[in-house]
Structure 1
């Protein structure tokens, strides 16, 4: 292997080793933590989390939020351990300073969670509209 080939391989391995876990990314990003907390609250708003809602949460982690979907259990455990005292109102207020485009993304993610099981309950609508109001979108 040439010196430059070895250097490239070492650089790639270093990037893999130093990449943060999904939990570390959440811990380092209060806005991400707040959004995840709202998504969890939306999934529980109708009283229980069913398989389609769990699948939607996992999909959002990987597809939209830049986290490893396979880390969903660890992320949920982190949220349970460190976000349990944060209300939905407080979580939404943490996101109020985001650019409007990002706020709309958060609302789209919440809508996806609310619709995941095929119906949207009054509790889900209430959380959705309260969040939109706190974000200045209603």
Structure 2
């Protein structure tokens, strides 16, 4: 959609929130500070689980932190919780919501960990044609 006068251009982010509060904060702040020409920005906060967790997604501290940061910046959010393989669920969800960007939080790794980089982050980067924002915190 072109950015003509009176035209609203929606820009959709997919944030993959893993439950870590520090990483969720960094992801939300990255989206808030990410330059875009869009006049309307929206974010879907996705939590992928491989085991049953009775906590409602709305009550997860990491989700609440990210949602509050985005709301303070005027960015609307939707929440999704899906059980399954993280890489598959993230890629399918990005396709379903037609995300312009996927925002994931990487983790610091030791030199050995970097050599054996069999992570969700790597799977996403190698399996999508969508731009991926990888942000990290100073924590290990």
Q: TM-score, normalised by structure 1?
A: 0.36
Q: TM-score, normalised by structure 2?
A: 0.35
Task: Name which one, 1 or 2, has greater alpha-carbon Rg.
Answer: 1
Structure with the largest fraction of helix: 1
